[in-house]
A and B are shown apart, each in its own frame.
Chain A
Amino acid sequence: MSENQNLPAIELRGVSVAAMRDATFIVVDNVDWLVASGEFWVIGGQEHSGKSDLLMLAAGLMPPVIGSYKLFGNDTKNFGEAELAERLRVGFVFQGGHLFNQMTIAENVALPLQYQKNLVPAEAVREVQALLELMELSPLADVAPSGIAANWRQRAALARALILKPEVLLLDNPLASLGARHRHWWLRFLDELSRGHGQLGGKPMTIAVTADDLRPWQNARRKFALLHEKKFTTLGAWNEVETADHSAVKELLATPVEATM
């Protein structure tokens, strides 16, 4: 058992987040956010509110401009090779997937496993096939990302993030532009991951998602936060979201679901 087991998975104190595309522009200021192991967080915010940037910072993909960022209790100032093992305990799913277009879906999923464990393709194939089967992606294994619908690309990106069995999973607006059937699958699957999925080790996974519509995420076990006008506000559980008097929260609850593909 790791000695860091009881420490928060992610801890941000007084953090200012820069925009990924313009490092001189602060998108969120003075963030205090503590993600305990096993928690399921939903961060609501409108477009360009800094959701993706905050999530990328939480994953260790960029440093805070100011403030303290701890990953599994380690104060992370640099993001070099020494911290790689810690970073690999965090899986990240980009909005839209960001799959590698030169590879097939199976190769996309296999790449992190092969690279991090130095495996030849044949050594990774069993694990990859099992995960593709679990995600209903087997029929698309040999297809390039450009040849499949956005719904399935997003799911392939989830498979790629899960192949290294992370303890924390961060997902950037995973339900955006998904059809109703796929949205339902995602909500059910993420809930299973949060409780501990039998085929993925059974250990409850710490999850944080961003969303521009809070309604699909209604669940008493989840914690909610709001990003609005450069401020990060912890809202609490779903009943507190429903009763919140904040106009931005009301907007996120009333936002129509995006058109399905």
Chain B
Amino acid sequence: MKNLFDRAALRFYAAVVRGNLAKAFEMTNTQVLRGAALPKSWTDLLGRKLFLFLLTVQGLGAFALITLGVILNKSGVANNVMRPRIRQEIVRAGLALLPMFFFVALALGFLVVGQTVSALAKVGAIEYLGSTMVIVVVRELGPLLAAMLVLARVGTANVIELGTARAMGEVEALEALGIDPVHYLIVPRVIGMALGIFSLTIYLIIGALASGYLFAFLQDVPMTPGDYFKQIVESLGWLDFALLALKTIAFGFFIAVVTCYHGLAQPLQLEEVSRVAVRAVTQGVIVCVLIDAVFIVLYLVA
């Protein structure tokens, strides 16, 4: 542990942070603690866990801020190289997942929406359908499910790709060529994932609501499609649209940051990549739930 507080190491760390080199993140890694021997007491273990948590939050926070800074400061840099890379990431985190999302939308509609419509009709509470659908599907299930699916499909790929690139020395090679690794490797993934989750959530919600009605129709629920969609539209406010956009973009941004942080910012050996991928997905889920909690508060306050 003494190395973390060594004065020369801190000076070196400050220099690489100023230079925005990928090496800066290595210094904030948590491997010293993870690799240490088991502590002798429970309080030591608790302290170590707390310290690990704080180091992870610090590393993720620093990485998120640096990524945001690079997105803003380098928006016009090397457009001819970056635009195709961003398009490629939008396809990967959005378009390529559409077939899976149509299936999930269908399943969600049948399993959740259809049953809810049917149940409300049975107890004579069909007038609450619109607000129930907006709360369950538009505000909660749609965005969260979309985020989880993209995290599983694209987030893990991010960790593995970047971890392998890091282990193979490709990040140092980018720096040697004067190419900012955060700009070249991270920014397209962040933008692609934010736009991908936003778009997929919209498709998922529309698909789930439509297939839900289809399920209810098959169960002879006395409701026309016009009444069904009218109730939903009347329950939607401008805040739902604004917060849905903000929430899905936040999901995309932070999932990309967490997965890229674990792939790029830690000095990895090839054999560590799979273990780090699991850790990144776990932290991605936690971050999404925390973001969701923040937005629940926003909905309640508004």
Chain A residues, Cβ within 8 Å of B267: 21
B175 contacts partner chain A, Cβ-Cβ < 8 Å: yes
Interface residues of B in 164-183 (CB under 8 A from A): 164-165, 168-170, 172-173, 175-179
Which of A56, A96, A118 meets B80, CB within 8 Å? A118
Main secondary structure of the interface of A (DSSP, over half): loop
B19 contacts partner chain A, Cβ-Cβ < 8 Å: yes
- What's the Cα separation between A116 and B74 when bound, in Å? 13
Interface-centre pick from B18, B165, B173 (highest chain A CB count, 10 A): B173
Q: Are A23 and B173 in contact (CB under 8 A)?
A: no
**Minimal beta-carbon separation of A56 from chain B (angstroms):** 7
- What's the Cα separation between A77 and B18 when bound, in Å? 9
Interface residues of B in 253-297 (CB under 8 A from A): 267
Which partner residue on chain A sits nearest B27 by CB separation? Answer: A23
Chain A residues, Cβ within 8 Å of B6: 24
Chain A residues, Cβ within 8 Å of B9: 23-24
A12 contacts partner chain B, Cβ-Cβ < 8 Å: no
Which of B16, B79, B178 meets A112, CB within 8 Å? B178
Q: Are A78 and B19 in contact (CB under 8 A)?
A: yes
Chain A residues, Cβ within 8 Å of B177: 111-112, 115-116, 160-161, 164
- What's the Cα separation between A164 and B179 when bound, in Å? 12
Q: Are B80 and A100 in contact (CB under 8 A)?
A: no
A254 contacts partner chain B, Cβ-Cβ < 8 Å: no
The range of chain A's interface size is 35 or more
A65 contacts partner chain B, Cβ-Cβ < 8 Å: yes
B102 contacts partner chain A, Cβ-Cβ < 8 Å: no
**Minimal beta-carbon separation of B65 from chain A (angstroms):** 16
Chain B residues, Cβ within 8 Å of A77: 15
- What's the Cα separation between A147 and B3 when bound, in Å? 42
A201 contacts partner chain B, Cβ-Cβ < 8 Å: no
- What's the Cα separation between A96 and B170 when bound, in Å? 11
Q: Which 8 pairs, one residue from A and one from B, show the smallest C-beta to C-beta distance?
A: A79-B19, A98-B173, A92-B176, A98-B169, A63-B15, A112-B177, A24-B3, A24-B9
Contacts A23-B27, A118-B81 aside, 16 further interface pairs with beta carbons under 8 A come to: A18-B12, A61-B21, A65-B11, A66-B8, A79-B18, A94-B172, A98-B168, A98-B169, A99-B170, A101-B170, A111-B81, A111-B179, A114-B81, A115-B178, A118-B80, A161-B176
Give the A-binding residues of B (Cβ under 8 A). Answer: 3, 6, 8-9, 11-13, 15-16, 18-21, 23, 26-27, 77-81, 164-165, 168-170, 172-173, 175-179, 184, 267
